[in-house]
Amino acid sequence: MSPSFPHDKIREDEDRSFTFALLACLADPETPEDERDEIAHTLQILDDPRAEPRLLVLLQDHAASPRVRDVASSVLRACGAENRFELPAMLRDGDLIVQRYAVLGMDHRHADLVESMARDPGHPLHRDAIRAMMWAFQEPRFQALKIAALSHPDPSVRETAADVLLWDEPVAAEEPLLAALDDAEERVAVAAADTLQYYPTRRTLARLAELSSREGKLGDQAKYSLDALRSQFASALQSAEGAEREALLAWMRPVWSILAFDDDEIRYEPPESFVRTNPVHDVVTAGELLISLSDPSGLWAQKKRRLQRADPAAFSPSDIERLVPFLTKHPDPEVRCGGARLFGAWHRHDALIALLADLRFFVSKSSMYYLGKTTPSPHVAACALRHLLDPGVTSTHAYETLDTYVAHAPAEEAIPRLVAFAMDEREAIRKDAIDNLTKLDAARELETLLSLLEAPPLVTWSVHIALLEACRKLDLTPRGLDALRRMDNLDLQQAIARIEPHSS
């Protein structure tokens, strides 16, 4: 008989004194499945590094039940514990359960492996490869594979494809997702309806309105997504006035009966001024941090909160010299990540650069972000530039890396590089390069990029919107407005409406 754990209390306190008992119960074949699921959830919240070796053993133990191995895999993946250097070997040498774990843990560094499986609809890991492309696979060739999976004969693959297309919102996916609303399998149609709440077009609005009166899961999801879209349309009107508002109202007129706004929903609201508040800090000494974080057991919610709220200004130079190596090499990735905030405030380039190589993605990402808040350094600029060449640097991490480079490089060096980055394969980099050129008042360089306004979207309309905003702020003459006005996208039309008075 397996023990009963106080899961709610363990999760609330992140009490790692239970870690090894939970692992033993997870592996016990006599543990009821509902309790095993509770244990898995609790282990995910505890995110105890000491659990990872045991979970890896369970994952690869052919004598254990497939269910136990699958649960071990899900906990490891939820905690981001994959070692990216080991995944190709696990894919090559493991059985199907280990191979699935390897594929689902892969990122853009493994693009060739993931792409080969995603291109083969009959591959036993095809669905997992499509799932692996949820994040960080933004280039058009990957979007095409995700979109193609909406037509796969297996409904579980079609459902996965509809799920993953939520994150990048490629323009090319809208029509296939609208078609998926008529899928014979309800779960596929529901997934498509969920994803379409992030496609703010009049066509999507109208189709969801048609489905929202249906009974069942599809009707419920269509109504939810319709409400989410209505909120986006209302927000656009709330923040607009004058000619911008009139232009948006005219664009929305064909779907006005669906929107049916109350006056309060679309009354103009001046944007609130941003008021910076001081962060809340706890009084904590270096000794207290060292003692509490050296004990791998106990109530970790309290320990992490103390680290997260520690005032960087409260530590002496000698305290800092003690804390930097301790936090940089701590076995818990959340502690290393929390240390990055302190290192940024202390302008410790050395510690932050060391953490860029961390195996945990979120630690590396936080380190790059906080490097962008430190005193300018040519060495940091060079490190950020090299980091951008890493194939695993994509999406948010990519543009935060570019922001850090710009914060540390002199404008005369950064501007020509930003022009080159505005043609990068990674759309997040393109957009951020344009945003940074705008902040640097690089009007002459931006003019050379305005031909992109006449090109089709790489993935989304974000590059066009960034260029239109550059035209508005720097008084440049946009190109291709007549064609762009015919495009069915709220965000794009809002950008056009903002620029119209400046371009007329």
Q: First and final CA of the chain: distance in angstroms?
A: 77
Q: Where are the domains of the chain?
A: 278-375, 410-504
- Per the structure block, which two tokens stand in for 305? 């909160």
pTM for the full predicted model: 0.92
CA distances for 41 relative to 52, 57, 78, 184, 366, angstroms: 15, 19, 9, 33, 25
Print pLDDT tens along the chain (504 aa): 457 899 999 999 999 999 999 999 999 999 999 999 999 999 999 999 999 999 999 999 999 999 999 999 999 999 988 888 999 999 998 899 999 999 999 999 999 999 999 999 999 999 999 999 998 899 999 999 999 999 999 999 999 999 999 999 999 999 999 999 999 999 999 999 999 999 999 999 999 999 999 999 999 999 999 999 999 999 999 999 999 999 999 999 999 999 988 877 878 777 666 556 667 777 889 999 999 999 999 999 999 999 999 999 999 999 999 999 999 999 999 999 999 999 999 999 999 999 999 999 999 999 999 999 999 999 999 999 999 988 888 889 999 999 999 999 999 999 999 999 999 989 999 999 999 999 999 999 999 999 999 999 999 999 999 999 999 999 999 999 999 999 999 999 999 999 965 454
Neighbours of 141 (CB within 10 A): 12
Query: Would you say 211 and 222 are in contact if contact means Cβ atoms under 8 Å apart?
Result: yes
Residue owning tokens 């609208």: 178
pLDDT, residue 238, reads 92
Closest CA to 194 of 154, 216, 162: 162
Question: What is the Cα–Cα distance from 161 to 129, expressed in whole angstroms?
Answer: 10
